[in-house]
Amino acid sequence: MHYDVAIIGGGPAGSTAAAMLAKAGRSVVVIEREKFPRFHIGESLLPFSMDAFERLGILKKIQDAGFVVKHGAEICSGCGEKETRFYFKDGFRSRRATAFQVTRSEFDKILLDHARECGALVREETIVTSLDLSAGSTSLSIASADGSPETITAGYVIDCSGRNSVIGSHLGLKESYPSLQKFAVYAHFEDAQIPEGVDGTLTRMVRGEDHWFWIIPLSSTKLSIGVVMDTEKYKSLRSTPEQVLERFIRDQPLMQSRLLGSRRVTKVYASGDYSYRNRTLHGDRWLMAGDAAGFIDPVFSSGVFLAILGGEKAAEAIDAALRSPREARRLFARYERHLVKVMGLYLKFVLAWYRKEFVETVLAPREFFEVVPAVNAVLAGNMGKSFSLRWRLWLFQLIVRLQRIVPICPRLTLVPRS
Ligand SMILES: Cc1cc2nc3c(=O)[nH]c(=O)nc-3n(C[C@H](O)[C@H](O)[C@H](O)COP(=O)(O)OP(=O)(O)OC[C@H]3O[C@@H](n4cnc5c(N)ncnc54)[C@H](O)[C@@H]3O)c2cc1C
């Protein structure tokens, strides 16, 4: 019952870390509360994860699963006046032109099964109930479905427990972003009229005045639909998630036309208060990865990309620490710096998304200095390391700031015409 590494949670972050460490010859146990396949939201992936799938040796399995191949995204103004499409092939120095739109129950199972095949011990229907992270040892108290409690020990622990954030909650490290307290309601719809060809594969975002919708094609007839609003707004409606989703769709002509003739085939799910970070992402013998480390609003589909990136980097750091334990502190601090930087980049974009001048600017793309392709590249998962990308992003931010004062691009109401 002693392992090199214990991983809490078998979502994309946990299974990525487990597969990497098992491939490196480490003894790994993944403790997962649910029995897979299980429903999960977060269906639109980014092209930069494709490289990681290749490194994990799982790209072919994902391709063979028949998920929709995603070519980009479309942003529409809620007033119906403007729309713009980003194709990943047009991103700044684009290397990957596609990603996938995935049904998470199937996708997560492929990843978790792969971790098992690589040699990780996966214990489903088993929950981590408490931890002891005192220096020198880490132990986890776990309980399996039949309720029998056990204790396991490990050299290192990676917390990949998603928004449950087991270690963050245990140590009181979680902090929320006050301006990003949002609420989402969502469901799957069948028999939708989805355009054929490349445009039928895009993630669509419809930006209303105080809310936005996502439309994600999961097959040639199935759509994932969700609407995101301020938590306060949701509370003020005093309605069930079903009533809220129906009401927002009814009030938005663009959504009505996209959903014409379709029917809801799942219950309406809801997620609230979901943007937060942790004051630190590591301790002497533990790291956090994926949503357990921090969660940023899903508008740019960055969640799974960050989870896989975090899982991979955490595995690298722990593998190196197992080789040279004295280096652990430095390796873990470097891991944290890297992750915080990438999450910070997405956070900037997410905060901007909720400002009207940002939406007005992206809906009026002008081809100069390749600024639009640079934004496109970041939204595909390019982490903005090169100077040539960074100065274009600065220029873009400058244009957005100017738009606040002088209308360089047309002003939009974002409210549907009555
Ligand atoms: C409304 C909404 C829309 C989103 N849309 C997108 C999108 O389009 N694209 C995108 O990339 N991302 C999206 N995301 C984000 C995405 O869902 C997450 O970022 C992603 O699932 C994170 O993966 P993870 O492995 O960190 O966590 P998870 O996928 O949540 O996995 C964590 C696992 O840990 C297990 N667990 C939790 N607690 C315990 C415990 N105590 N013991 C044992 N196991 C435990 C859980 O059962 C779960 O399986 C969205 C999120 C929300 C809320």
Ligand 1 and 127: CB distance under 6 A = yes
> What average pLDDT does the segment 386-412 reach?
87
- Ligand 1 mean position, distance from CA 394 (Å): 31
The closest residue, in CA terms, to atom 5 on ligand 1 is 42
pLDDT of residue 215 exceeding 70, the answer is: yes
Alpha-carbon distance 332 to 114, whole Å? 26
Pocket test for ligand 1, best of 70, 160, 170 (most atoms within 8 A of CB): 160
> What average pLDDT does the segment 75-89 reach?
90
The closest residue, in CA terms, to atom 30 on ligand 1 is 162
Ligand 1 and 291: CB distance under 6 A = yes
If you average pLDDT over every residue of the chain, what do you get? 93
Pocket test for ligand 1, best of 15, 33, 273 (most atoms within 8 A of CB): 33
Q: Is the peptide bond before 373 cis (omega within 30 degrees of 0)?
A: no
- pLDDT value for 418: 67
Residues 353-376 have pLDDT tens digits of 999 999 998 888 777 667 888 888
- pLDDT value for 370: 79
For the chain, count helices (H), then strands (E): 13, 20
- Ligand 1 mean position, distance from CA 40 (Å): 7
- Is the domain spanning 2-67+102-177+275-347 CATH 1.10.150.530? The answer is no
Residues 284-297 have pLDDT tens digits of 999 999 999 999 88
- pLDDT value for 49: 94
- pLDDT value for 381: 78
> What average pLDDT does the segment 152-158 reach?
96
In the chain, where are the structural domains located? 2-67+102-177+275-347, 182-272, 355-405
pLDDT of residue 273 exceeding 70, the answer is: no
- The string of DSSP letters for 42-104 reads --B--TTHHHHHHHHT-HHHHHHTTPEEE-EEEEEETTSS-EEEEEGGGSTT-S---EEE--H
Alpha-carbon distance 6 to 120, whole Å? 10
- Ligand 1 mean position, distance from CA 289 (Å): 11
Residues 24-77 have pLDDT tens digits of 999 999 999 999 999 999 999 999 999 999 999 999 999 999 999 999 999 999
- Ligand 1 mean position, distance from CA 10 (Å): 9
- pLDDT value for 371: 81
Would 2-67+102-177+275-347 and 182-272 be classified into the same CATH topology? no
Q: Which segments within 208-291 are labelled E, that is strand?
A: 211-217, 223-230, 263-264, 269-272, 276-278, 286-288
Q: Which CATH class for the 182-272 domain?
A: alpha beta
CB within 8 Å of 339: residues ≥ 6 apart: 281, 289, 293, 306, 309, 310, 313
Alpha-carbon distance 296 to 378, whole Å? 15
Ligand 1 and 128: CB distance under 6 A = yes
Pocket test for ligand 1, best of 15, 31, 40, 67 (most atoms within 8 A of CB): 40
Q: How many residues does the chain have?
A: 418
pLDDT of residue 136 exceeding 80, the answer is: no
Tokens of 52: 């990681």
Q: Are strands 2-8 and 149-159 parallel, antiparallel or unpaired?
A: parallel
Residues 160-193 have pLDDT tens digits of 999 999 999 999 999 999 889 999 999 999 999 8
